[in-house]
Amino acid sequence: MLAKYLVKRILLMLLTLFVVITATFFLMQVMPGTPFNNPKLTPEQIQQLNVAYGLDKPLIVQYFIYLQNAFTGNFGTSFTFANQPVSTMIAQRLPVSAQLGFQALIIGVVVGTFFGVVAARFKNTWVDGLLSIISTVFFSVPSFIVGTLLLLYFGYTWELLPVSGWGTKLC
């Protein structure tokens, strides 16, 4: 019973991954422009870049190359940073992202637990209602909006935290 459930979930996960990868590829194809829309580049240079990155091949060939590379972990080289492998760039930045994610998790657990304890202590009072409203707003508003507002207040208005960089005082 458990094995059947696990197999079903793994197959569903693989299907979802395939759909997301396929949708990403084709959405990138219908976006206007190319990765090399730079007015400083000559048409010959743009053609050389298209050949170097395989963008001159038919769309279906590009798609299967993309699928093969995605499933083997080969994310190619960056269009923006010359000759730098994308997987190397991800590996360099992953520890900082993981640390930030872990810190956000800890803060969320502590604040959520505190709100829950206070709301339970003051059940059916204005405090409970206020905490419910605050929790609902923070849960409902997209994280990029909340993040931008937190940066605005804690970084710019109150100057309590740096707004960018890692381990630097840019605030």
Candidates 101, 102, 134, 143; CA nearest to 115 is 134
Spans of the chain below 70 pLDDT: 167-171
| C-alpha triplet 129, 130, 136: angle, nearest 5° | 90
pLDDT at 127: 94
Q: Where are the alpha helices (DSSP H) in the chain?
A: 2-30, 43-52, 59-72, 86-121, 126-140, 143-150
What is the structure's pLDDT at 170? 47
**pLDDT, averaged across the chain:** 89
pLDDT tens profile 9-39 = 999 999 999 999 999 999 998 988 888 888 8
Predicted pLDDT at 75 = 87
The predicted structure's pLDDT at residue 83: 81
